[in-house]
Amino acid sequence: MLDQLEVFRHMLEGSPVLLFAYSVSTGQVLYVNDTYERMFAPAKLATINDDLLWLLSCLPPEDQQYALSCLTDLANGEMHDDLLLRMQRQPNAPIQWLCMRARRTVASDGQVLLCGSVQDVTVDHEYTRNADKFMAKKNTTLEILSHDLAGPFNMLQQLATFFQERTQSLQDPQLEKMVTVMQDTCRDSVNLIREFVDSEFAESASVQLKRTRFDLAASLRQVMETYQRSEHLVAKRFSFSSTPEEIYIELDNNKFLQVVNNLLSNAIKFTREGGHISLTLEQEQDHVLVTVTDDGIGIPEKMQPVLFEKFTKARRPGLLGEKTTGLGMSIIQSLVRLHNGTISFESQENQGTTFYIRLPL
């Protein structure tokens, strides 16, 4: 009968997950299961310590810095979430996504060890990336449709009011009732559209954050491309820029894109036809800076101190009469803070508004 140690050894050798023990004290890998050879062929178990620099060189430069920084933190006793890393073992080869989990421990002989696992999550990552992509596209499309549909309804409501004024002298009860029905239907339809978008934002914002490492520049670029394709619908111009072209950061992708979508939606509501709305992303020394700028009507000075309050007195209808609950900016600030970031703004009446979001790298 197999003893427990032998059973455990067979389980380790047959695992699809790479398991390792690394001595921080000696800089040597003390143990790795045979999954290493299958995951990183043609590498061999016997040469694992000689392969460490080669493995590190297979990571893009920014991933190398990220991995070394996180592992140094772990060695010093700081906790870390899963490390998501890209690997490309040959030029032009497909990107392989690896998820590393590790924790610090001290062996009986006093050695500081990092013990953990490495798993190939390329398929899962691509699936999640595509799901996030279509989720962001759906949210962006909802925002565009809410403005696109609200415009005609608001125009019909204004026409109904005009008819009401011109036909008032006729004193026709049936005609007055029909005009009232037109006004109520238009108003309720606009409110229903806006409430649907707002309630989805509020509901999803209450879900716990799920952080992952992704290219923020690529995500924001996709969002803005959707807005740019719809410029004729909302009668606004949109632009996007990122410095550098790729910026990897740990965030809840869906939640943060909802923040950006909500800021862009507000910019659309308070920018006149033909106006310009820009989204920029910059990487600075210890943080990234996201800015949303419009040349709209701006925020009145008296409203600015209470803008981020729940059910704020700063709430006001958009230029086409779009309804607002006053919760949007409060939720945005909460989501930014959950990402350990800050949000601020500058605004001047009739000159526009710029929102600044700073997120730690």
Residue 343: pLDDT over 90? yes
Question: Which of the two residues, 27 and 155, has the higher pLDDT score?
Answer: 27
Residue 93: pLDDT over 60? yes
- Quick: pLDDT tens for 186-197: 777 666 666 666
Q: What is the pLDDT of residue 149?
A: 64
Q: What is the pLDDT of residue 62?
A: 85
Q: Where do we find the tokens 């700081």?
A: 78
Q: How far is CA 331 from CA 177, 218, 262, 317, 334, in A?
A: 40, 24, 10, 18, 5
Identify the CA nearest to 259 among candidates 350, 143, 347, 353.
143
Calculate the dihedral angle through the C-alpha atoms of 356, 357, 360, 361, rounding to the nearest 10 degrees: -90
Segment (H or E) for 258:
helix 253-269
How is residue 197 written in tokens? 């978008």
How is residue 104 written in tokens? 């610090």
Question: Which of the two residues, 351 and 158, has the higher pLDDT score?
Answer: 351
**323 φ, ψ (degrees, to nearest 5):** -75, 150
Place 326 in a pLDDT band, splitting at 50, 70 and 90: very low
HSE of 171, CA atoms in CB hemisphere, 13 A: 1
Place 208 in a pLDDT band, splitting at 50, 70 and 90: confident
- Quick: pLDDT tens for 172-181: 888 888 877 8
Residue 1: pLDDT over 50? no
Residue 205: pLDDT over 80? no
Output DSSP code: residue 110: S
pTM: 0.65
Question: Which of the two residues, 226 and 238, has the higher pLDDT score?
Answer: 238
CA angle 337, 343, 346 (to 5 degrees): 165
- Quick: pLDDT tens for 104-126: 988 888 888 999 899 998 888 88
Q: Are 335 and 258 in contact, with CB atoms under 8 Å apart?
A: yes
- Quick: pLDDT tens for 51-83: 989 999 999 888 888 888 888 888 888 877 788
Reported residue count of the chain is: 361
Place 148 in a pLDDT band, splitting at 50, 70 and 90: low
